């Protein structure tokens, strides 16, 4: 078998079971492995460390499939997929819309699958995942038993691996149009073909329910609303008004349809840049009781953390200024390059500069369908804080 040999001393992260081999750690590769093929990873003194998939064009030159010597074959993928499905069956029974396969954290680097009722959307993003594409699709089709597997292998990560995007029907029947799924008793239309990621942000399910539970009689501002996950939840929770903001016209159109699917009153929709629109609302002296800030990934890696920190601080500062005393802020970062600790510091700095006292009343994460392997802290990408602005400001 082809071998990848590490530079001296570079086996430490693999011994801690972190599944990525960076190109800088590699001394040489013996043989001529094809893109995506399985390699044995060895330390400089010849110790076997792992079996990994070769990504010749990526900074992450190999991603670990297993830590033991075994066959990486159809049985391997069936085993991993069955284990991931068993976790969901135990922790999220009867949940029609959820993530079935969460890449590294389910022992399947580069493999994401989301279930929307009878439709499963598969997103492959590494050379190794693409190499095993048919095998993965067969195993998932057989074990999860959906009517459809639709492929959305078109993420940035995939193109960085030097691979061509692939989208379209992969197994079963074409997805129904429109595809409407149930989340916590609410109906959402999901655009699996053209939407972000696999069509919907399943990682916010529990946090949308938290907003719904606290929105009664509130004037709500939903920033970066996409197709209205938080807006619809707030309206269903009895919000007095909802203002929804996003730069994407098509996302706002889908938001309006989602509000209609649930027979709720249409919110105020503002299309444009949230950074500018928050300033405008501040200048108009608008006030809200509950604000959601769920921006896109400002810092994909630690290298972008500083610039991202300024952007997070800016929107959080403006949000604090727009909240009434006693108001609630649900603020998120889905940046892998911003840790929970750093995010909390940024939000604290924003409150300070906005001149408000606030408390953290909740820490948020995705649900159990987005597990985080303990050896893979990068899996903990979505972090959120619920903050409450003090009713009476403390004396200076
Ligand atoms: N809260 C949503 C997911 C948000 S995804 C949910 O629960 O489903 C991030 C959204 O931010 C996308 O819809 C994208 O169109 C929007 N966006 C990105 N940059 C923006 C900007 N500068 N101003 C306004 N919207 C922006």
What DSSP string runs through 323-387? Answer: EEEEEEEEEEE--TTS-HHHHHHHHHHHHHHHT--EEEEEEE---TTS---TT-GGG---EEEEE
* Segment 322-346 mean pLDDT: 96
Pocket probe for ligand 1: among 196, 224, 292, the residue whose CB has the most ligand atoms within 8 Å is 224
Q: Are residues 82 and 61 in the same domain?
A: no
Q: Are residues 157 and 296 in the same domain?
A: no
Q: Measured on CA atoms in the order 67, 72, 77, 79, is the torsion positive or negative?
A: negative
126 Cβ contact partners less than 8 Å away, ≥ 6 residues apart = 36, 53, 55, 58, 60, 63, 109, 110, 157, 158, 161
Q: Is 167 exposed, middle or buried (0-12, 13-18, 19+ CB in 10 A)?
A: middle
Residue that finishes a domain, picked among 35, 66, 97: 66
Q: Domain range for residue 239?
A: 201-392
What CATH number is attached to the domain comprising 26? Answer: 2.30.130.10
* Segment 260-287 mean pLDDT: 98
CB 29 within 8 A of CB 55: no
Instruction: Tell me how far the alpha carbon of residue 296 lies from the centroid of ligand 1, in angstroms.
Output: 6
Provide the domain count of the chain.
3
Q: Are residues 96 and 56 in the same domain?
A: no
d(CA 311, CA 297): 11
Q: Are residues 242 and 326 in the same domain?
A: yes
Q: Are residues 273 and 348 in the same domain?
A: yes
Element housing 60 (H / E):
strand 60-66
Q: Is the CB of 225 under 6 A from ligand 1?
A: yes
Q: Are residues 168 and 220 in the same domain?
A: no
Q: Are residues 138 and 38 in the same domain?
A: no
**Within-domain flag for 79:** yes
Q: Is the CB of 141 under 6 A from ligand 1?
A: no
Q: Are residues 339 and 368 in the same domain?
A: yes
Q: Is the CB of 229 under 6 A from ligand 1?
A: yes
Confidence band of 145 (pLDDT split at 50, 70, 90): very high
Instruction: Tell me how far the alpha carbon of residue 279 lies from the centroid of ligand 1, in angstroms.
Output: 17
Please give the pLDDT value at position 149.
98
In 3D, which of 305, 306, 312, 380 has the Cα closest to residue 351? 312
Confidence band of 394 (pLDDT split at 50, 70, 90): low
Q: Active site residue: 218, 269, 334, 387, which one?
A: 334
Please give the pLDDT value at position 305.
86
**Within-domain flag for 298:** yes
Q: Are residues 208 and 356 in the same domain?
A: yes
Q: Are residues 28 and 147 in the same domain?
A: no
In 3D, which of 186, 189, 184, 212 has the Cα closest to residue 200? 189
Residue that finishes a domain, picked among 66, 94, 112: 66
d(CA 52, CA 132): 13
CA torsion 377-380-381-383 (nearest 10°) is -130
Q: Which two tokens stand for residue 287?
A: 């006030």
Atom in ligand 1 nearest the alpha carbon of residue 248:
15
Pocket probe for ligand 1: among 114, 236, 296, 382, the residue whose CB has the most ligand atoms within 8 Å is 296
Instruction: Tell me how far the alpha carbon of residue 226 lies from the centroid of ligand 1, in angstroms.
Output: 5
Please give the pLDDT value at position 300.
78
What CATH number is attached to the domain comprising 383? Answer: 3.40.50.150
Question: Which residue matches tokens 């750093």?
Answer: 342
Q: For 146-170, what is each residue's pLDDT tens digit?
A: 999 999 999 999 998 999 999 999 9
Instruction: Tell me how far the alpha carbon of residue 394 lies from the centroid of ligand 1, in angstroms.
Output: 34
Q: Is the CB of 201 under 6 A from ligand 1?
A: yes
Q: Are residues 47 and 125 in the same domain?
A: no
* Segment 318-343 mean pLDDT: 96
Q: Is the pLDDT of residue 396 over 60?
A: no
Is 223 a residue of the active site? no
Q: Is 57 helix (H, G, I), strand (E, B) or coil?
A: coil
Q: Are residues 108 and 233 in the same domain?
A: no
What CATH number is attached to the domain comprising 147? Answer: 3.30.750.80
Q: For 373-391, what is each residue's pLDDT tens digit?
A: 999 999 999 999 999 999 9
* Segment 44-71 mean pLDDT: 97
Whose CA is closest to atom 23 on ligand 1? 273
Q: Which two tokens stand for residue 392?
A: 């009476």
**Within-domain flag for 109:** yes
Q: Is the pLDDT of residue 393 over 80?
A: no
**Within-domain flag for 152:** yes
Whose CA is closest to atom 3 on ligand 1? 226
How many Cβ atoms are within 10 Å of 66's Cβ, its own excluded?
A: 17
Q: Which residues in 196-227 are b (16+ Cβ under 10 Å) and which e?
A: eebbbbbbbbbbbbbbbebbeebbbbbbbbbb
Q: Is the pLDDT of residue 326 over 60?
A: yes
Q: Is the CB of 248 under 6 A from ligand 1?
A: yes
d(CA 244, CA 228): 8
Q: Is the pLDDT of residue 329 over 90?
A: yes
**Within-domain flag for 145:** yes
What are residue 308's phi and psi, to 5 degrees? -65, -40
**Within-domain flag for 174:** yes
Whose CA is closest to atom 6 on ligand 1? 229
Q: Is the CB of 251 under 6 A from ligand 1?
A: yes
Residue that finishes a domain, picked among 131, 146, 179: 179
Instruction: Tell me how far the alpha carbon of residue 254 lies from the centroid of ligand 1, in angstroms.
Output: 13
**Within-domain flag for 193:** no
Q: 3-state SS of the chain: helix, strand, coil percent to 5?
A: 35, 30, 35
Atom in ligand 1 nearest the alpha carbon of residue 200:
8
Confidence band of 392 (pLDDT split at 50, 70, 90): confident
Confidence band of 301 (pLDDT split at 50, 70, 90): confident
Q: Is the CB of 230 under 6 A from ligand 1?
A: yes
CB 127 within 8 A of CB 35: yes
**Within-domain flag for 45:** yes
d(CA 21, CA 373): 17
Q: Is 392 exposed, middle or buried (0-12, 13-18, 19+ CB in 10 A)?
A: exposed
């Amino acid at each position: 078998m082809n071998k990848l040999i590490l530079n001296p001393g570079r086996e430490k992260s693999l011994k801690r079971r972190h599944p990525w081999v960076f190109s800088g750690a590699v001394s040489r590769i013996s043989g001529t492995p094809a893109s995506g093929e399985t390699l044995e990873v060895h330390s400089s003194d010849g110790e076997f460390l792992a079996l990994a998939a070769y990504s010749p064009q990526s900074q992450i030159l190999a991603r670990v499939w297993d830590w033991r010597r075994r066959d990486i074959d159809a049985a391997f993928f069936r085993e991993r997929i069955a284990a991931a499905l068993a976790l969901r069956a135990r922790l999220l029974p009867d949940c029609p819309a959820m993530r079935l396969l969460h890449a590294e954290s389910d022992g399947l680097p580069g493999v994401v699958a989301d279930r929307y009722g009878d439709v499963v959307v598969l997103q492959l993003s590494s050379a190794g995942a693409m190499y095993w594409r048919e095998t993965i699709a067969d195993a998932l089709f057989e074990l999860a038993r959906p009517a459809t597997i639709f492929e959305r292998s078109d993420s940035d990560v995939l193109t960085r691996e030097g691979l061509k995007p692939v989208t379209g029907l992969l197994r079963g029947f074409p997805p129904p149009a429109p595809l409407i799924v149930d989340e916590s008793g609410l109906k959402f239309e999901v655009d699996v073909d053209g939407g972000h990621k696999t069509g919907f942000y399943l990682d916010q399910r529990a946090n949308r329910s938290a907003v719904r539970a606290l929105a009664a009689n509130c004037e709500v501002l939903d920033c970066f609303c996409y197709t209205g996950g938080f807006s619809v939840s707030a309206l269903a929770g009895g919000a007095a008004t909802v203002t929804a903001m996003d730069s994407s016209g098509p996302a706002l159109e889908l938001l309006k349809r989602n509000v209609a699917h649930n027979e709720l009153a249409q919110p105020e929709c503002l299309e444009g840049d949230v950074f500018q629109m928050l300033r405008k609302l501040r200048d108009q002296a608008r006030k809200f009781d509950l604000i959601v800030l769920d921006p896109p990934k400002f810092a994909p890696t630690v290298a972008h953390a500083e610039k991202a920190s300024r952007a997070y601080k800016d929107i959080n500062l403006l949000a604090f200024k727009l909240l009434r005393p006693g108001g609630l802020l649900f603020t998120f970062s889905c940046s892998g390059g911003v840790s929970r600790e750093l995010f909390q510091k940024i939000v604290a700095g924003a409150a300070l500069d906005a001149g408000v006292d606030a408390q953290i009343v909740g820490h948020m994460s995705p649900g159990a369908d987005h597990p985080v392997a303990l050896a893979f802290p990068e899996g903990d990408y979505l972090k959120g804080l619920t903050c409450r602005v003090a009713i009476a400001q403390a004396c200076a």
